[in-house]
Amino acid sequence: MPSSQLSRRKRRKTPRYDRLIAAFILIVGFVGILIFFLSTLGHGKPSESTNQVAKNSGKSSQSQSKSTTKSEKSSDKKDASLPNSKTTDWDMVLVNREHPKDEMNPELTQIGNIQVDSRIAKSAEAFLAAAQAINPAEHFISGYRSVAYQTSLYNQYVEQEMAADPSLDRSAAEAKVQTYSQPAGMSEHQTGLAIDLSDVDSLNESTTAKQVAEIAPNYGFVLRFTADGTPSTGVGYEDWHFRYVGVENAKYMTAHHLTLEQYLKLLK
């Protein structure tokens, strides 16, 4: 056999590596594209676990929403117990050192030895009768006072304090007096809605003051200056000073231990 023919046969048996490499590259590329395509499809469609997380999140949000709604309803219930009163109601008028008033000139009715706003006359009489059922010695001490009368009374108290303690100057004496009596224009006695009621004519010496204070709300009155209320009223405890605010308001204020100042803030 000629050598040239033998040489051709040997060349046919030699593998074509360039073709194999090209085929391999094509296969790897195809597999890569396929994997990428499948991966993209996987990201586009949420898995069951993702759906479950979303469902749980939705349930949690609904639960929180229901909880908030319940809380709001509970808050509404608390607000609902507050009397439907306004700070501008005639029996809610506030007179103190921070809220002075000029002469108010209410229409007055005489009850025994005192005068009161005519709108509370019947309530005051009923309150007195109930107090006398507890202690027959209960009586009215003071009611409506004009600005002029309050000026005279206040100055009298200041002079008494200075006479009792010569070390006091007028400013110090006034500070002491204001724990139990107020300057003209700053005393709610001028409203005709306040009464002093006791079984004795001395402040904080009544033996039945507690029982009388307990029945006061039934007639629309509250003990105006309680010991706990001093920080908001600026006035010390007075066992005989009652203020008319209406039955519903009086019962709410007493049940929640509120002064008039505190109660008015709730109504705003």
**At which residue do the structure tokens 């007055």 appear?**
108
CB 237 within 8 A of CB 244: no
The residue among 244, 248, 3, 217 whose CA lies nearest residue 118 is: 244
Report pLDDT for 190. 97
Those residues whose C-beta lies under 8 Å from the C-beta of residue 120, and which sit 6 or more positions away, are: 91, 192, 193, 220, 244
Report pLDDT for 2. 46
Report pLDDT for 18. 63
**HSE-up (13 A, CA, CB side) for residue 74:** 6
Report pLDDT for 33. 72
Helix 170-177 to helix 147-164 angle, to the nearest 10 degrees?
A: 120
Those residues whose C-beta lies under 8 Å from the C-beta of residue 181, and which sit 6 or more positions away, are: 153, 154, 157, 187
The residue among 210, 217, 256 whose CA lies nearest residue 237 is: 210
Dihedrals φ, ψ of 19, to 5°? -70, -40
Compute the distance between CA of residue 35 and CA of residue 37 in angstroms, rounded to an integer. Answer: 5
Report pLDDT for 165. 97
Report pLDDT for 16. 58
The residue among 260, 245, 249, 242 whose CA lies nearest residue 143 is: 242
Report pLDDT for 41. 58
Report pLDDT for 52. 54
Residue 33 in tokens = 């594209």
Which tens digit of pLDDT belongs to each residue from 38-68?
A: 665 555 444 444 455 445 555 555 545 554 4
Report pLDDT for 80. 80
- Name the stretches of the chain with pLDDT < 50: 1-12, 44-50, 53-54, 63, 67-78
Residue 27 in tokens = 């296969």
CB 233 within 8 A of CB 259: yes
Cα torsion 206, 216, 254, 177 to 10°: value is -50
Pick the CATH number of 90-267 from 3.40.1360.10, 3.30.1380.10, 3.40.50.300, 3.40.50.720: 3.30.1380.10
